[in-house]
Amino acid sequence: MGQQQVKVTQELKNIQVEQMTKLQAKHQAECDLLEDMRTFSQKKAAIEREYAQGIQKLASQYLKRDWPGIKADDRNDYRSMYPVWKSFLEGTMQVAQSRINMCENYKNFISEPARTVRSLKEQQLKRCVDQLTKIQTELQETVKDLAKGKKKYFETEQMAHAVREKADIEAKSKLSLFQSRISLQKASVKLKARRSECNSKATHARNDYLLTLAAANAHQDRYYQTDLVNIMKGVEMKQMQLLPSKSLVSLGRSSIYRSS
């Protein structure tokens, strides 16, 4: 019985360790996603900025060039290639500046919020782990109490059964040569009292065990249907709401439009 109690308790602990591992793995996966978002936005912003600054520098060099052979009037004539070329270079400068501005948006809308959200998630994980550890310990204590109640019930029931068997044997036995009817009656009264006492203890232990079993089942149902579910939800990416998803999509679309 003792080995069975240890086995049940150990099985529960193994299940709870697995649940804790899943909780932490879920958290780590979400943190890895946040880190990917942060590092990607940083690297993309650096590439975009370097490219845009290079384009600006290139366009600026060509804007500063002079064409001595082209008259001033021709430079303002819309039919001339010069104003078209100048407008193209100026537009290129504007697009490049827009890219540089977009790099700041990557920082403001993705990189920094991702860092903040990850920090908040680390704090939330600690709270969830502490809470899960507490309720798991409470469930372990309930299971231990149940095992103790079952052990006590089985022991008292076995004792009562043994006393009942002895009483039945005594009731069927005949007087021996060295026994008097009075002494046999006294022994029978004592045995009946002992049997009544054992039966009472067994009944009491059985009732206690059944109550403990009902409480343990209710505790286990609450643990799986409410406590564990709420904790798993608590560690989910609710903090992701701090990341402006619309801005994230908009930045992605802007990149597509600029490259098209």
Taken in order of first residue, the domains within the chain and their CATH numbers are 2-259 (1.20.1270.60)
Give the end-to-end CA distance of the chain in Å, rounded to a whole number.
75
- Is the pLDDT at 257 greater than 50? The verdict is no
**Whole-angstrom Cα distance, residue 213 to residue 145?**
9
**Which has more confidence, 46 or 85?**
46
**Whole-angstrom Cα distance, residue 176 to residue 182?**
12
**What pLDDT sits at residue 161?**
86
Torsion of CA 168, 169, 174, 178, to 10 degrees: -120
**Whole-angstrom Cα distance, residue 19 to residue 14?**
9
Spatial CA neighbour of 150 closest among 191, 207, 192: 207
* Residue type present at position 120: L
Q: What is the pLDDT averaged over residues 72-85?
A: 67
* Residue type present at position 209: Y
- For residue 165, name the pLDDT band (cuts at 50, 70, 90): confident
Spatial CA neighbour of 35 closest among 123, 138, 117: 117
Distances (CA, A) of 67 to 18, 74, 86: 76, 11, 12
**Whole-angstrom Cα distance, residue 41 to residue 110?**
7
Helices 81-106 and 2-63, packing angle to 10 deg: 160
Q: What is the DSSP letter of 68?
A: T
Q: What are phi and psi of 173, to 5 degrees?
A: -75, 150
pLDDT tens track for 123-154: 989 999 999 999 999 999 999 999 999 999 99
Q: Write down the pTM of the prediction.
A: 0.67
Q: What is the pLDDT averaged over residues 210-230?
A: 94
**Whole-angstrom Cα distance, residue 163 to residue 78?**
119
**What pLDDT sits at residue 105?**
84
Both structure tokens of 39: 């590092």
Q: For the chain, what percent of residues have pLDDT higher than 70?
A: 75
Is there a contact between 56 and 93 (Cβ–Cβ < 8 Å)? yes
Angle formed at CA 253 by CA 249 and CA 256, multiple of 5 degrees: 145
Query: The tokens 């505790």 sit on which residue?
Result: 219
Query: Using only C-alpha atoms, what is the Rg of the chain?
Result: 41
Spatial CA neighbour of 144 closest among 7, 14, 18: 7
- For residue 190, name the pLDDT band (cuts at 50, 70, 90): confident
For all residues of the chain together, what is the average pLDDT?
A: 82
